[in-house]
Amino acid sequence: MRRVIVLGSTGSIGTQALEVIRANPRRFDVVGLAAGSDRAAMEAQAEAFGVEHTALGAIEAEQLVRDVEADVVLNGITGSVGLGPTLAALEMGRTLALANKESLIVGGELVTAIAAPGQIVPVDSEHSAIAQALRSGTHAEIRRLVLTASGGPFRGRTRAELDGVTPAEALAHPTWDMGRVVTTNSATLVNKGLEVIEAHLLFRVDYDDIDVVVHPQSIVHSMVEFIDGSTIAQASPPDMRLPISLGLDWPERIGGVGRPLDWTTATAWTFEPLDEAAFPAVRLAKRVGRAGGTYPAVFNAANEQAVDAFHEGRLTFPGIVELVERVVELHDPASPLTRESLAAAEAWARRAADLAIAAA
């Protein structure tokens, strides 16, 4: 039986993880819970699962990970505040089921330097798909990784047609039900840019060998192309419980977690190239990822400020990525890379973004 700590337990990933655990009481035992701010909901979860150890906020969550004996830490915290718990899980030798992509992207080599081979198991559906596909070959046999993107609610629109997009339209994702920041990031494709950086760090594949293709049906979650011309894809109906279950018990599969595809019904899967003129976020993310250091932290922090400004009516939809690029270009990177230099870079990026928004 695996002892599990669930961080971000009251959010979308956390609640679905607890559903998987509840359905498999002989495989998992919840030994710790941490929530961002909803203490009442977390306490109700703790009572339902008989959990004694709880935490509120990222600082307490990091201490919880260090203090409580566990086999797996599921990090479902939102945002770069999840870096501390990610580092704690790795330092304590836990398996890290990582849904908090920002901690890896922002932490970069701070995270990868202390992670043992196989210690990080991705929970993002795209990276889980790649991890599954990679069981078909060795690292030396990889030609490229192909991340799929739904294209969001504005697929097919030109750059000019995006000027009048409203926050309500940006939150109307055609496939996934997510929080405000992640849903907006999916609409701008900033989320896909972050996932490209994450794929590079997780799988040690060069940015030139990581592509993005638009797949509106969200059935093929990502693919690996091998040197012999074979492409291995992972396909399933969109349901985060599947990658969550793999994160909790990798590499074992849990029966009945998700529903299979219906092969008796006629259907079509389509794939389209990414329109980088309308959606430049992926190109910018690759540039940021190649630069490394504190650049990804600046990219992420500036985007969070820009998303807030968009939803408050102070920035246009295309202005989100335009502002992020402006802040990235102003950045003077710090060295060496430490938690302190990352925090300083993030704080600077937020101030720079806010000043640029106010001047717009």
What is the residue-level pLDDT of the chain in tens, covering all 360 positions? 999 999 999 999 999 999 999 999 999 999 999 999 999 999 999 999 999 999 999 999 999 999 999 999 999 998 899 999 999 999 999 999 999 999 999 999 999 999 999 999 999 999 999 999 999 999 999 999 999 999 989 999 999 999 999 999 999 877 666 678 888 999 999 999 999 999 999 999 999 999 999 999 999 999 999 999 999 999 999 999 999 999 999 999 999 999 999 999 999 999 999 999 999 999 999 999 999 999 999 999 999 999 999 999 999 999 999 999 999 999 999 778 999 999 999 999 999 999 999 987
Q: Which helix (H) or strand (E) holds 54?
A: strand 53-56
* pLDDT for 138: 96
- Residue among 288, 293, 292 nearest 337 (CA): 293
Q: What is the pLDDT of residues 16-32, one digit of tens each?
A: 999 999 999 999 999 99
Q: Which helix (H) or strand (E) holds 159?
A: none
Which conformational region is residue 115 in: left (phi greater than 0), alpha (psi within -120 to 50 degrees), or beta? beta
What token pair was written down for 134? 């990679």
Helix (H, G, I), strand (E, B) or coil at 68: coil
Which spans in the chain are helix H?
12-22, 39-49, 58-67, 83-91, 101-107, 109-112, 125-133, 167-170, 180-188, 190-203, 241-249, 281-291, 295-311, 317-330, 339-359
* pLDDT for 335: 77
Report the alpha-carbon distance of residue 248 to residue 113 in Å, rounded.
23
Q: What is the pLDDT of residues 68-85, one digit of tens each?
A: 999 999 999 988 999 999
Give the CATH superfamily of 2-123+240-249: NAD(P)-binding Rossmann-like Domain (3.40.50.720)
Enumerate residues 6+ apart whose C-beta is below 8 A from 212: 146, 147, 148, 149, 189, 192, 196, 274, 282
Q: Does domain 293-360 have CATH number 1.10.10.10?
A: no
Give me the residue label for tokens 């896909």.
Answer: 192
- Residue among 74, 354, 311, 291 nearest 185 (CA): 311
* pLDDT for 176: 62
Q: Which amino acid is at 329?
A: E
Domain ranges of the chain: 2-123+240-249, 137-236+262-276, 293-360
Sheet containing strand 142-149, edge to edge, reads 231-235, 220-226, 142-149, 210-214, 272-273
Give me the residue label for tokens 């993002």.
Answer: 124
Predicted TM-score (pTM) of this structure: 0.95
Report the alpha-carbon distance of residue 289 to residue 208 in Å, rounded.
11
Phi, psi values for residue 234, rounded to 5°: -110, 125
Q: Distance of alpha carbon 138 from its chain centroid, rounded? A: 24
